[in-house]
Structure formats: structure tokens, C-alpha cells
Amino acid sequence: MDAKERAGEWAASQVRDGMAVGLGTGSTAAFFIRGVARRVREEGLKLRLLASSSYSTILLATELGLPLATLEQVDALDLYADGADEFDPQKRLIKGRGAAMVREKHLVHLSSRFLVLVDPSKRVERLGTHFPVPVECLPFSTGLVRAELVKLGAREAIVRPAGTSKDGPVVSDQGNFVIDARFDAAGDVAGLDDAINAIPGVVGHGLFTRYADRVTVAVGHADRVEIIG
């Protein structure tokens, strides 16, 4: 079992019959989702499952035969499990490599317990060490948002390209663009979180600074899972 799989399996073991559970997005969350599907199959767990963190997760959960609720039907989650790109000693996060951070934050907000599933490479002293902060914006606001991010100290703010799968930019599940903003390892991350939210045209972003009280980080290693509660 590799580190991500171990973290995902541990999170699946935390699910209890009758819970409302949110399913995150990414390669580590996929191990969690597969683990939940196995437990539903083998143990007959009855769960309310919300896969709305992305179309990617809705497709995976559907393929696995999991019955899904919609966001309109669920206003609170007992548990939400998802990956992260970076976490710091205060259990603050950067998310959004998969461009799903807006929906992911919505589900975190609904949850009373948030399991962050990572491998050791995601641990940093300061957020922004390896990853940019992804900022989702309305397409017509792209220029304004890039300029404002630079004013906030970003040394680079680039529209994320789709790569070989499509010409032009990544288009989010909401039909928006994603700007990757590189800050020299962010200092006042809570202030930056608020300041980015205040830019007109910003739909959301990948700094998660306000949820440490509900976060448990599960760091998968080759032979164990380290829990940072």
C-alpha cells in the first residue's frame, strides 16, 4: 500500500453507519472513496453521500455504484475527507491542484469533521512553499483579478492552461477560469485569504485558513498513518 492509499483507507475506517459523508477530489480522495464503496458493499453501511466536490468525483462515485445525495438535500456533513497540496503546522491548507477548491470549500464548510489525507510531501513550514494559490474567477474579471493579486504580493499570477486536452485555459466545473498565484511563502495567510476574497470577480480560492478546529490531518507513510489531530 502506498502512502496515499494508506491515508485514504484510514479515513474510510472512520465512517460509521448512518453518517452524512462528503467525498473530496483527487488521487488520495479516490482511495477514500473506493474504501467507502467497499465498506458499503461488504458491511451494508447506510450513508448519505455527497460527491459534489467535483464532476470528477461524481463520475467516480457513480461508477462505483454509490447512491448520491445532492447539495440541495444536505445541509450538514458528519465527515468530509479530501486531499491537500500543502498543510502547515497550524493545519492550514492550500488546495486546488485539481481546480475543485470552490466546491471543496463549500463541503468543508458544511462538515463538523474534516479529514485531510496526504502523503509526507505535502507538509510545509509555510504555505506557498511548493504550490501556487489557485484563484477561481469569472472569465471577464481575469485581467482585474491578476492585477489585484500582483498588488497583494504575488510574483506571478498566470491563467492555468488546459494543456494538451484543450486549447486555452482550464475551465472549472462552474465555467470559470483559474489563476495560479505564486506568493513568496505567504506570511499573513489569514489576511491573504480575506484579501483575495474581496477582489471583484473572485469566486473562491484554494487557501483554507479558517477550518483548523475541525481538521484532522492523516499523513500516510509506507508502513503507518500519522494522525495530527
Residues serving a catalytic function are 104
DSSP helix/strand/coil, 211: coil
Site string for ligand 5RP, 40-79 (x = CB under 6 A): ----------------------------------------
At residue 21, what are phi and psi to the nearest 5 degrees? -125, 130
- Quick one: which of 36, 101, 102, 179 contacts ligand 5RP (CB under 6 A)? 101
Q: What is the DSSP string of 131-187?
A: SPEEEEE-GGGHHHHHHHHHHTT-SEEEEPB-GGGSSSB---TTS-EEEEEE-SS-S
Residue in 26, 128, 201, 204 binding ligand 5RP, rule: CB under 6 A: 26
Asked if residues 119 and 28 have their Cβ atoms less than 8 Å apart, the reply is yes
Closer to ligand 5RP by Cβ: residue 45 or 55: 55
Q: Smaller CB distance to ligand 5RP: residue 44 or 175?
A: 175
Q: How far is the CB of 104 from ligand 5RP (least distance, A)?
A: 6
Among 84, 145, 203, 218, binds ligand 5RP (CB under 6 A): 84
> How far apart, in Å, are the Cα atoms of 110 and each of 33, 76, 79, 214?
18, 5, 9, 11
State in angstroms the smallest separation of the CB of 118 from ligand 5RP.
7
Q: Is residue 128 near ligand 5RP by the rule CB under 6 A?
A: no
Interface residues with ligand 5RP (CB under 6 A)?
Answer: 24-29, 82-85, 95-101, 104
